[in-house]
Amino acid sequence: MKTRDLVLLGLGILLGIALIALVSTRTAPLPEFQGSLIEPSSPAKDFSLHDQNGQPFRLSDQRGKVVLLFFGYTFCPDVCPTTLVAFQKIHEALGAQSEEVAFVFVTVDPNRDTPAQLKSHLALFSPDFIGLTDEQAPLSAVWADYFIQPEIRPGANTAGYLVEHTTRVYVIDRAGHLRLTFPFGQTAEAMLQDVQRLLEE
């Protein structure tokens, strides 16, 4: 075989390899989301409440960030602290990138969850976490928009009563769309994977 033919053959092989690599890169599937996808996604219901510092908070002001939205209360004995520990692990794992994620905790127990109570409780996990409360009317409107139905139940502890509530975490992407939810018990590692994927979009 002539030298020119060998060169052309070599070039053909290299081009073929490059084309295969390009196609493989373009068609490689993204890892599946670990949470429950909301399809089709839709804009998250906007709301305005007050944070633990008494400052107004509007959900739409978080555009550009991924938002982890959870409804709970500071006297919760199980689900809420478990979820906040997961948030804490995600926050720590993200490092500097945690500034691109808003960890939002909306109370379902405004009678006991004063701004001061929210602030001291959330500081146990991260001072960056946002705790929200308000008057009953605006809170009830937010609960309704996110299908939250708090129910007060008698409690055997010194707190006096328990509040039954939805245990899911709502995940909102940078564009303000509700993309998925995490059920209670989803590991922090699985949630982190989904958050990182949304941050890359």
Same-domain pairing of 98 and 72: yes
User: Rounded distance, CA 27 to CA 2, Å?
Assistant: 38
Residue 171, domain extent:
36-200
Is the pLDDT score of 6 beyond 50? no
**Neighbouring residues of 173: CB distance < 8 A, sequence distance ≥ 6:** 41, 66, 179, 198, 201
pLDDT at 86 (0 to 100): 98
Mean pLDDT (the chain) is 88
Q: Is the pTM of this model over 0.75?
A: yes
Q: What are phi and psi of 144, to 5 degrees?
A: -65, -40
Nearest Cα residue to 68 out of 200, 174, 165: 174
* DSSP classification of residue 41: E
- Are the C-beta atoms of residues 114 and 87 closer than 8 Å to each other? no
Strand pairing class (66-72; 169-172): antiparallel
Number of domains into which the chain is organized: 2
Cα dist from 26 to 15, 194, 201, whole Å: 16, 21, 16
For 39-59, write each residue's pLDDT tens digit: 999 999 999 999 999 999 999
Q: Provide the pLDDT confidence category of residue 154 given band limits of 50, 70 and 90.
A: confident
CATH number of the domain bearing residue 170: 3.40.30.10
Same-domain pairing of 7 and 75: no
